[in-house]
Amino acid sequence: MVSSTWCVNLAIVEMLEFHDVKKSFGNVDALKQVSFSVPTGAMFGLLGPNGAGKTTLIRIITNIIAADQGTITCQGKSLADLGKQFIGYMPEEKGMYKKMKVGEHLVYLGQLKGLSKKEVKERIAFWFDRLKITDWWDKKIQDLSKGMQQKVQFIATVLHQPGLLILDEPFSGLDPINTEVIKEQIFYLNQQGTTILFSTHRMEQVEEICENVVLIDRGSVLVNDGVDRLKDTYKKGIYDLSYSGSALPKSDLYEVLMESENNIRIKKHESVSTNEILKFALESRLSVNGFKEILPSLNEIFIDLVNKNEHA
């Protein structure tokens, strides 16, 4: 799906770089000196609460609107210099011609992206096969469920083999089975060299899919880091300890958060080491069967950071 020449180019520079990007609408500052970069070939999460500036940023990337100040480069080029085949964008709100048949709809959209009729039909056949919808050609868009329309929209977004794929809530309306089908295609495209910019409110999906994330709130970047590093940075010293024997005695080394038979969840005090807790447990004549640190979920980190920013 991706040419070898394209793969060579992917290794040269960052896919997207934002430097002090600003955008205002009247007296409202939608983006305030936003700076971050999206690595080439990454699965990258664009996160933020409603009104954070995510949609404004996506519209700037896709040349729907222009930034007031700052610079954005894509593979070292300005956005204005990109060809129409470089970016694929699937918005949350679908814009499809409901009375058209699936096949003719996709042929039309593919030709708008510069593909010949022969090319676009070959690529439609490829994606119909991957998504197991080979009998959909003559179905009308209006007769499809929301989830089925989502599959058609996905195909329309990737037909021209974009190097940068922007997905806004790509699993909206999909049942768990079809969510896995689309997820599999996203991973496939990324393995072929496509950079994925993924925007969603579903933090568990971000944890599963993305390697790096940027969190924007009220037009500013709160954090830009790898998912694993974020979890390590914002861990709270919470551990699950499973044991055999009598209950773990109370101690000023930790706070008990939850306790059940032969298992306890504790939060160690900041100055206390894990070795001290293990030593205390062993000296209490417990047989320790497991001791595991509980890292915060991305959802917990997201909520904490946004709440702190709102009260700053």
What are the pLDDT digits (tens) for 146-171?
Answer: 888 889 999 999 999 999 999 998 88
pLDDT at 193: 93
**What percent of the chain has pLDDT above 90?**
63
pLDDT at 84: 66
Nearest to 82 by CA among 19, 162, 2: 162
The residue-averaged pLDDT of 53-78 equals: 91
Yes or no: say if 173 and 146 are a contact pair by the CB < 8 Å rule.
yes
31: pLDDT strictly greater than 70: yes
The residue-averaged pLDDT of 83-98 equals: 81
- pTM score of the predicted model: 0.86
Nearest to 216 by CA among 116, 98, 86, 305: 305
206: pLDDT strictly greater than 70: yes
Q: How many CA atoms lie within 13 A of 125 on its CB side?
A: 6
From first CA to last CA, the distance across the chain in angstroms is 47
Phi, psi of 47 (to 5 degrees): -115, 160
Tokens of 136: 């959909």
CA 34 to chain centre: 18
**What percent of the chain has pLDDT above 70?**
95
Phi, psi of 195 (to 5 degrees): -85, 130
Render pLDDT for 49-64 as a digit per residue (tens, 0 to 9): 888 899 999 999 988 8
